[in-house]
Amino acid sequence: MDVTIEPSTVEGSAPAPPSKSYTHRAILAGGYSNSVTVANPLMSADTRATIRAVEAFGGDVTHDADAGTLEIEGFDGEPTVPDDVIDCANSGTTMRLATATAGLVDGVTVLTGDDSLRSRPQGPLLRALEQLAGRAESTRENGQAPLVVGGPLMGGSAPLPGDVSSQFVTALLFAGAATDAGVDITLQTELKSAPYVDITLDLLDDFGVSARRTGRGFSVGGRQRYRRREPYTVPGDFSSTSYLLAAGAIAGAEPVTVTGVYPSQQGDEAIVDLLGEMGAGIEWDREAGELSVTADTLSGIEASVADTPDLLPTLAVLGATAEGTTRLTDCEHVRYKETDRVAAMADALSTMGAAVEEREDELRVDGDESTLQGATLDGRGDHRIVMALSVAGLAAEGETTVTGAEHVNVSFPDFFEALEGIGTELSRTE
């Protein structure tokens, strides 16, 4: 599907979609449990992949659309050998979480995904599982899927690089609680995207599992049971909220309000302070969960995305509409997502007429030298690129067409409906 965005002004309100990060973890924790209800889950292509993985390991997940819940009967810390290959589709989170879970199985599990996922790095996690007495192989011997994983893991100590993916840490913490000895993770390099591990620690605690930071990494004790009596409610997603806030900040005729956003461990909550730093009017009623943005003249900023990689596309678009230069640093790990998001945003914004300078670990956008023009842009099969470029289209002269727009189903299936709801003029072409 292609979507064409007309230059538009926006106003009004839209609900934040549920957090993808919390939903993935809640589904998996439900799988590790005996039984749990997850309320307000994000039902997207990625989270459905995690549901399929939980069911492949012996769990059962029922979606009650009317109630807005998932009823999960889990495998209670003892996953069984899947009947078939686990297809993680485009979900890197599913791949990493399911790979470590497969290490608990007394048998062999095969995991794969689409072309994009089969190009993403898994080697550090495979080596860590081997350190913990598991079997972990890449069929092409390149550290990428398809993967063959066997167990059961005994637990113990495992070194991990921190600058490739925080999901490796999350995966080992989840599985480590179900091993006999537990898992001690030693980080070999500085941890990037650290708030995502904070989300993991927060959720594990909600399911009765004790895990902690140590001086050199993280540790989780073994022989723990995942348990939760009350339904678990997924909070709103700040990564997805960032696109709606950016739309309001650059094209708002009146304030744009996003509802259902409450404080949490999400690193992308930083978008609130960053928009304020750029000069947008921001008001957040934390108790009511209402976050409003008012458009104003924006100014370029310098921001590290070491802990907030998913904000890079949003911030790059904001920089293209701001006065002065926006400098996004510490972004090398952003190249290892569904696509190389640094290169993708540099290429697309340049095509639109922005003045962009791409470096290995940095992206600069000079708003003073940028006048956005409508263009046909490749969404790169990446939900975040599609959404960010759609927002850029609001401020461009002429129509902007983004190809492969259906990929928003990965994290924000109702994104274009939300944009239309606040006044965006757009059309879809199948």
Tens digit of each residue's pLDDT (9 = 90 or more) over 66-109 = 999 999 999 999 999 999 999 999 999 999 999 999 999 999 99
Mean pLDDT of 245-260: 97
Residue 193 is assigned to a ligand binding site = yes
Say if residue 430's pLDDT is above 90. no
- Residue pLDDT, tens place only, 59-68: 999 999 999 9
- Residue pLDDT, tens place only, 292-310: 999 999 999 999 999 999 9
Strands (E) located in 151-289 = 156-160, 183-187, 211-213, 217-220, 232-233, 252-259, 281-285
Between CA 248 and CA 246 the distance in angstroms is 5
Between CA 405 and CA 2 the distance in angstroms is 5
Between CA 249 and CA 98 the distance in angstroms is 38
Say if residue 150's pLDDT is above 90. yes
Q: In this structure, are residues 45 and 91 in contact, taking their beta carbons and an 8 Å threshold?
A: yes
Say if residue 54's pLDDT is above 90. yes
Residue 299 is assigned to a ligand binding site = no
Which tokens sit at 91? 């979900």
Mean pLDDT for the chain?
97
- Residue pLDDT, tens place only, 265-288: 999 999 999 999 999 999 999 999
Residue 350 is assigned to a ligand binding site = no
Q: What is the pLDDT of residue 87?
A: 98
**What is the CA 235 to chain-centroid distance, rounded?**
14
Question: Which residue is listed with tokens 């911030």?
Answer: 315
- Residue pLDDT, tens place only, 157-190: 999 999 999 999 999 999 999 999 999 999 999 9
Q: What is the pLDDT of residue 199?
A: 97
Domains located in the chain, CATH noted: 2-17+236-429 (3.65.10.10), 20-222 (3.65.10.10)
Q: What percent of the chain has pLDDT over 90?
A: 99
In one letter, which amino acid is 206? Answer: D
Which tokens sit at 166? 């925080």
Confidence category of residue 195, pLDDT binned at 50, 70, 90: very high
Q: Which residue has the higher pLDDT, 142 or 336?
A: 142
Residue 273, phi then psi, degrees to nearest 5 = -70, -35
Which tokens sit at 371? 């006048």
Percent of the chain that is helix, strand, coil (3-state, to 5): 35, 25, 40
Q: Which residues pair with 70 in a beta bridge?
A: 38, 63
Between CA 320 and CA 224 the distance in angstroms is 49
Between CA 16 and CA 42 the distance in angstroms is 10
Q: Which residues are catalytic?
A: 310
Mean pLDDT of 398-419: 97
Confidence category of residue 385, pLDDT binned at 50, 70, 90: very high
Mean pLDDT of 375-389: 97
Q: What is the pLDDT of residue 99?
A: 98
Angle at 351 between CA 346 and CA 353, to 5 degrees: 95
Residue 192 is assigned to a ligand binding site = no
Residue 256, classed as helix, strand or coil, is strand
Residue 243, phi then psi, degrees to nearest 5 = -70, -40
